[in-house]
Structure 1
């Protein structure tokens, strides 16, 4: 007999979906559970982000170039999250870049084969992340800043799951979580991260508004991509959600380098 859905299931869904940390099966993905999972997605990333940030920082402290440290961060995050957002980014780029209609674009995304658009997008977006993280790791408490940016990037999920943003398909992860987050929930999540990054800015010796500027890069990059996907594909899919996370990560990292 399956257990009844409970409040903890949202946290377990987020942990099991967004990381490789075992979280156990979920009895049923209800709307409240989906909303909780998308809202706390950035919180469950803390152990993954800390492990990646500390590994990259340790490499830089031992004399490795900053880019090596940044690549370590990107690689460790991918390993501890099954690289699922990389897959979503590549598939979304291939779908958006196709010259076919909406249905054919969605079919291209469903196949999972990586084409030239997907491969090129991965190189550019992940390169921006790695280069930016490498520059930030060299600063005071660079590991903490990078870890905070990695966590904050998962707040892009609340944008993709806003009420009013439809699912592009009648099945899959997109359909299960589409429209599950109210607008005020998304605002609260990003305000919390703005405050958190402002605090990190202060403890690293920068001004508080550096953290606010860095935060703005996340929803800006994710929001533009989300608008494009809704316009081109008619809504979100699981791949689109993964793509918005990677876009937000790049936007946050680049904005942080500029602000710091």
Structure 2
């Protein structure tokens, strides 16, 4: 997940909305915008996580535009889906898929939270992680290809954008960090009212999609709440890998809501 420090000189004080967006995009995407000069503390972490769905909306727009463009070529719908999934992995530095693999491997082991965190920190990918990556990529590609064939561009963008609410839900006020250092220490337990705000905004954005749009929002919110609660118990708190896994699984759930 994103680094916990900035090489630039820190700037104390409140992190404003524009600086929050700047920080979130620099953390969560490959956008060549540099890193704002802010103190990397829980104030900055709270501000960046609170605007993470904006990053998701931008990524969703990029994915939908890419699918729309490739739909006007001779590429089969499934190939379009595969290429869009690859594009999303590249634009997010592969952080979320890495988090999914690490979380799958960690949940697949037995032992106390210390052992689970040790597996998460291991640089390799085990059998559970490989299975999770292949399964997630396959489902995403098939769903995006199906939606491409049906010209449902907004549904593609909405599914990807709304999935980032999972990160906000995962950082809710009742969950502490798994470790005293790292990304989780910056963001765990920092979100409260932002959760309600994003649920309402997502519900409003889902209106053009009808019932399936509202179902997608509900699945993302409830599913990420339950998933992060379970993982936090196993891991001993929230960390970056857990949040990345929640985002990836929420993307799958939202896409499935539109194709099943």
Q: If the length of structure 1 is used for normalisation, what is the TM-score?
A: 0.89
How far does residue 210 in structure 1 lie from its aligned partner after superposition?
Answer: 2.2
Q: Is the counterpart of residue 85 in structure 1 residue 96 in structure 2? A: yes
Work out the CA distance in 2 between the residues paired with 1:67 and 1:26: 42
| Kept after mapping to 1: 8 A contact 2:81/2:144 | yes
Bigger mean CA offset, 113-122 vs 99-108: 99-108
CA RMSD across the alignment: 1.7
Q: Is the counterpart of residue 169 in structure 1 residue 179 in structure 2? A: yes
| Kept after mapping to 2: 8 A contact 1:59/1:68 | no
In structure 2, relative to structure 1, the CA distance for the partners of 1:104 and 1:190 (3 Å cut) is same
Match for residue 244 of structure 1? 246
Cα deviation per residue 1:75-134 (whole Å; 9 max; x = unaligned)? 111111101001100001111101232211101111221000001011112222211111
In structure 2, relative to structure 1, the CA distance for the partners of 1:229 and 1:60 (3 Å cut) is same
Work out the CA distance in 2 between the residues paired with 1:26 and 1:111: 31
Q: What is the aligned residue count?
A: 249
| Kept after mapping to 2: 8 A contact 1:94/1:116 | yes
Work out the CA distance in 2 between the residues paired with 1:46 and 1:192: 12
Match for residue 109 of structure 1? 120
How far does residue 61 in structure 1 lie from its aligned partner after superposition?
Answer: 3.3
How far does residue 43 in structure 1 lie from its aligned partner after superposition?
Answer: 0.8
The partner residue of 1:253 within 248, 252, 255 is 255
Q: Is the counterpart of residue 4 in structure 1 residue 15 in structure 2? A: no
Q: Is the counterpart of residue 16 in structure 1 residue 18 in structure 2? A: no
Q: Is the counterpart of residue 212 in structure 1 residue 220 in structure 2? A: no
| Kept after mapping to 1: 8 A contact 2:58/2:161 | no
Q: Tell me the SS of whatever aligns to 2:93.
A: coil
The partner residue of 2:197 within 170, 188, 193 is 188
RCO greater where, 1 or 2, for CA within 8 Å and sep 6 or more?
A: 2
How far does residue 3 in structure 1 lie from its aligned partner after superposition?
Answer: 2.9
| Kept after mapping to 2: 8 A contact 1:13/1:26 | no
How far does residue 194 in structure 1 lie from its aligned partner after superposition?
Answer: 1.8
Cα deviation per residue 1:129-161 (whole Å; 9 max; x = unaligned)? 211111112224x22321221111111111110
Bigger mean CA offset, 86-95 vs 30-39: 30-39
The partner residue of 1:64 within 66, 71, 75 is 75
Work out the CA distance in 2 between the residues paired with 1:2 and 1:96: 37
Work out the CA distance in 2 between the residues paired with 1:69 and 1:15: 25
Match for residue 133 of structure 1? 144
Work out the CA distance in 1 between the residues paired with 2:110 and 2:233: 14
| Kept after mapping to 1: 8 A contact 2:10/2:37 | no
Work out the CA distance in 2 between the residues paired with 1:130 and 1:220: 24
Q: Is the counterpart of residue 232 in structure 1 residue 241 in structure 2? A: no
